[in-house]
Every structure is written in C-alpha cells, then in structure tokens.
Amino acid sequence: MEPEILIRKEGRAGRLTLNRPKALNALTHDICLKTTEALEAWRNDPDVALVILDGAGDRAFCAGGDVAQVTAAGKAGDYAMGRDFWRDEYRMNLLLSHYPKPVVSFMQGFVMGGGVGYGCHIPFRVVGESTQMAMPECGIGMIPDVGGTWLLGRAPGQLGLYLALTAARMGPGDAIHARFANRFIPEAEWDAVKARLCETGDVIELPAHGTPESAMAAQQHHIDALFAGETMADFVAALEADSSDLAARTLKAIRHNSPLSMASTLAMLRPAPASLAEALKQEYRWTWRSMERSDFIEGVRALLIDKDRNPRWRHDAPDAVPEADVAAMLESLGENELTFP
C-alpha cells in the first residue's frame, strides 16, 4: 500500500508530499502526526535548509480533512477521534507557521479547508493556473478552522467574511489578493523550480512572475458595501436590496449554508483573532463541541455522504440564531482547552 505522505530529503530540502491523489490528498490524523514528526526531526538537521510541501497528482494540493471517519465515529457517540485529530492538526498548523527554516508550498488544483491550513501559514505560498482555493466549512455545518479565521481576518476589507459565509472559490489571482498566497508561478515551471530549491536550499530560486487578474479585487468595493453591517440580518437585508448578480449569488449561498456555522464565524471574525494561536484555540472550542451540538454531522451527511444536498439545519434561517447558541459553542473548554507543546 502506498504511504499517505512521502517524507524524504532531497539535496538541501526536506520534502513532504501528500500522497492520496484519488482522495484529493485529503488530510488524515496520521498525515498530521507524521508531518509534525518530520518537521521536528529536520529542525536542527544541518542538511535541511528548507522544506517543500506539495501534493501528488494534478487535481488537488489538498481538498481538506478526511471527515468521513470522524463523522462516522461521532454518529456512534465517539467524539474523541475528531477531537484528537483536530488538536494535533491545529498544533501542526502553528508549527508550520513559525518553523525556523523557510517552508514553500506548491498548491495546484483544489486547496480547501485543511489544505489551506497545511499550505497557507508559511512564508512562501505558491499558486498556479489550476488553483481553486476556498474555505467551504459553513456549507457542511462547520466553521473555517485550521487557522482559517486568522487568514480570513487578515483579508482586505470585508473579503474574509464574504469568503467564509459563501464558501466562494478563489482562483490564483484571488488567492493572492486575499493574502492566502503570495506568489504565482506557471505550473509548467514547478518541477524545475523544486529541483533548484533542492539543489541550492535557497528560496532565492523562486522566480518572480506577474500576479493574474483577480475578479474579487475588482469587486472589492461592492463586497465591502454588502457586508458593511453588523449582523446576519443586516447582510441579508443588504443583499436583498441589491439587484446585482454578485448579490444574488451571495444570497443564494448564505441561504443554503448552516445558520449556526455562519453566525459563529461572524462572531469569530468580528473582531478578528489577534494571532494564529488565538484563532486556533477559539476554533478548537467550536470543533470540540461540533459533533454533539452543531450541524457538522448533518452537513457531512447531506453534502459528502448521501449527497442529497438537502441538509436539515438546527436553525431555520441565517438571521435566526440566538446569540446564546453561538456563545455556548465558543465558551472556554476549561481543562480541555487547546495547548501548544
């Protein structure tokens, strides 16, 4: 059986390649643990000057976390599997963010959820022509985790809120505009660029290319106006009063997604987290409770397992979530709070 992640040293580089192309390189708990183990082993290894993250196949760098097993356990009343997975995944996210050596990710195809957490908290974040990046969690009854609220909170204007509440996909230019990525390199050059990085161990080998156009950058002022309000009811009213295609698409998405997830995400982004560690701790409070108290299991059923696309959410409308329900998802976990070794 092929390993889920390929871990090796090539020249001056430590290399981590997600190796589940048929599953769109979805993250497993074991991948997170092995990534952490490799990073710790290379931390003081004089032979490793930098780390390269990539994914096997053409379709995806990483389309998210593999939630099927987690939700199956949750339906059976076993919440520990998911909680352990998220705890170790979030610790890996923070480790990647402050790793003492340069880390470079090459993110083709689908980059969603856990894939964003794997590849977007590091200094050098490369996208190509095929990149389709998103935080789609509100559509499956989850919240943008893996440090997603930290990234969304740093996007320009109200773009982060728009991306979170609609699960809109970003092309390469959009991803750079939203600050999820910071370098565009045509994918035909990637193999040669990786080879030079391995040979020299120097990120100066990353070439400079112009940034592709961003439709979201062109719509920034419109998005800012639509999400200038304070509450979900404000957003819905602004969208209903706007006759544009953008408003119609946005309203359709918001009416389809989990009301509890969206209300919780709004609370987590207003105000935005002060640091990635703070974001991860807050996200863990929500995900720790998610299988018992949220729409997560139902959302996964409707969107990923049965695929009937007809989830039965706990609340009837985007503006029908009591503040107390959100507060209950985000209150302290006490002795179960996320800590970082």
Tell me the catalytic residues: 65, 114, 137, 145
Structure tokens belonging to residue 291: 């299988």
Going by the DSSP 8-state scheme, the letter that residue 109 receives in this structure is B
β-strands 13-18, 5-10: how paired? antiparallel
Q: Which residues have C-beta within 8 Å of that of residue 41, sequence separation ≥ 6?
A: none
Structure tokens belonging to residue 139: 């559509």
Measured distance CA(91)–CA(156) in Å, rounded: 26
Q: How far does CA 34 lie from the centroid of its chain?
A: 19
For tokens 């299988």, what's the residue? 291
Q: How many CB atoms lie within 10 A of CB 316?
A: 9
Cis? peptide before 172, omega within 30° of 0 = no
Q: Which residues have C-beta within 8 Å of that of residue 26, sequence separation ≥ 6?
A: 20, 62, 63, 64, 65, 66, 114
Burial class (CB within 10 angstroms; exposed 0-12, middle 13-18, buried 19+) of 321: buried
